[in-house]
Amino acid sequence: MRLYNTLTKRKEEFTTVQPGVVSIYSCGPTVYYTAHIGNLRAYVNGDILKKTLRLNGYQINDVMNITDVGHLVGDGDNGEDKVEKTARKMGVSPLAIAQKYTDLFLRDIRRLNITPAKHIIPATQCVDAMIDLIKTLEQKGVTYRTKDGIYFDASTFPDYFQLSKGNLAGNLGGARVELGEKRNVNDFALWKFVSANTLQKWDSPWGVGCPGWHIECSAIAMQYLPIPFDIHTGGVDHIPIHHTNEIAQTQTATGKPVCHFWFHNEFMTIDGGKMSKSLGNVYTLDDLIAKGYEPLHLRLLILQTTYRSVLNFTFTALDAAREQYQNIVSALAKHRATTTPSDPQVIAALTQEFKDALNNDLNTPVALAVLHKTLKQPASHDIFKLVTEKFDQVLSLDLATATERLPELVAIPDQVKDWAEQRLAAKQRKDWATADRLRGQIVSAGYQVTDTAQGYQIKPL
């Protein structure tokens, strides 16, 4: 199995610290809002990674943090805590906000058939471990105090840019940086002093305050995983700041690398542009469900693009993914309905082809192509078992269950059939206005009509 390693900028043969067991740390959500589909893409791809590892016979020991304190507005060291800001706005406690959005996040990953991490750890449960880690860094002489907190001196870590390769774009954002009492632009807060009216605060050797954002991931990883562990996952937006700072503090404290593989998920764009609340194009899973889509339509759409490529979300693409999902299920149902066996050599070859695609840096588009190739084989129950018991253990599209529901899905109402017949007749007499009107009625009823050489085909939307 070969994986791309952001640290080395190349694909590498995957090996583990402990034989047969993969240790993984995943950066989890900051729980002050409902995760949007761009956020969720990262967790789908992380899920594909873990399920591919299981396909290769590995056991998984994985940890994900929940950021319920310390992540400030703007991702830097200034401004209000994101969870606390939402809590004040809504007139409830930070704990209530964190619990609400944690529950919604866990609900969404279940809907997408993402297997939760073995350990899901809120930052607020590990503040003592963070304080201990800051003490260790202080003893090593790499911290300093300002009027607003305790900072890590990045100049003490010569290999600070090992992950980002000296890319300051994420740090500077094209804007002038106000250093204040910071010695260097790359220095970052380990502990922030807070005012008396701050809702979340803790005693520490340096004064009452709360942890900085970056320290939680290092402290939690060091509690639950060996250092170095095998794989660290997250979005590409974490590379220049969050993950760079994790490396600096963990490596300084332990004298060891954080992990062997850095696995980063690319961005999602919307209609070719940035996702933005001001543009009204920040979609949640609930938004898609309200429009008539199923969560697994989104999962299939995500799998159509490799995790290291930008995924451009459009509703046209989601419509196509929904149709492809229905086509996959219809094709699979034909294999379910027979007891005819397949040539074992054919099954073995298809199995290896699917595994090879995933083992080549999780090439899910090629894996889906192998799925389609498999479904085109002569009807065989062995094909049904291969797809549902092997392929779908990784793809996680609930294909076996979907074939059980197929009769219900294809039961077209008589009224829709009548409209389709009337539309065909209107087209034959070149009454295009009537044909278009009838197509609109069919779509409004939740179905699509497609012209074929034999006449037409009706499918649920």
Contact 21, 61 (CB under 8 A): yes
Residues 248, 159 share a domain = yes
Question: What mean pLDDT is reported for the chain?
Answer: 92
Residues 404, 256 share a domain = no
Residue 400 lies in a domain: yes
Q: Measured between alpha carbons, how far is 265 from 13 in angstroms, rounded to an integer?
A: 19
Residues 179, 125 share a domain = yes
Last residue of a domain, one of 387, 409, 431: 409
Residues 422, 403 share a domain = no
Residue 322 lies in a domain: yes
Residue 272 lies in a domain: no
Residue-wise pLDDT tens digits, 186-235:
999 999 999 989 999 999 999 999 999 999 999 999 999 999 999 999 99
CATH of the domain at 359: 1.20.120
Residue-wise pLDDT tens digits, 4-57:
999 999 999 999 999 999 999 999 999 999 999 999 999 999 999 999 999 999
Residue 46 lies in a domain: yes
Residue 22 lies in a domain: yes
Residue 310 lies in a domain: no
Residues 179, 103 share a domain = yes
Q: Which residue has the tokens 């034959």?
A: 428
The range of the structural domain enclosing residue 217 comes to: 2-265
**Strand locations in 347-406, DSSP E?**
none
CATH of the domain at 86: 3.40.50.620
Query: Which H or E run includes 102?
Result: helix 94-111
Contact 352, 395 (CB under 8 A): no
pLDDT above 70 for 171: no
Residue-wise pLDDT tens digits, 257-291:
999 999 999 999 999 998 887 788 899 999 999 99
Q: Which residue has the tokens 């058939």?
A: 113
Residue 274 lies in a domain: no
The Cβ-side half-sphere exposure at 44, using a 13 Å CA radius, reads 33
Contact 94, 101 (CB under 8 A): no
128-93-43-401 Cα dihedral, nearest 10 degrees: 120
Residue-wise pLDDT tens digits, 245-256:
999 999 999 999
Contact 293, 323 (CB under 8 A): no
Q: What is the pTM of this model?
A: 0.86
pLDDT above 60 for 177: no
Residue 256 lies in a domain: yes
Q: Which residue has the tokens 């250093």?
A: 179
pLDDT above 90 for 125: yes
Residues 186, 243 share a domain = yes
Q: What is the total count of domains within the chain? A: 3
Residues 226, 352 share a domain = no
Residues 219, 187 share a domain = yes
Residues 17, 128 share a domain = yes
**Strand locations in 132-217, DSSP E?**
143-146, 149-152, 188-193, 209-211
Residues 422, 364 share a domain = no
Residues 233, 150 share a domain = yes
Contact 217, 242 (CB under 8 A): yes
409 falls in which pLDDT band (50, 70, 90)?
very low
Residues 187, 288 share a domain = no
99 falls in which pLDDT band (50, 70, 90)?
very high
Q: Give the closest residue to 35 by CA, choosing from 100, 125, 115, 79.
A: 100
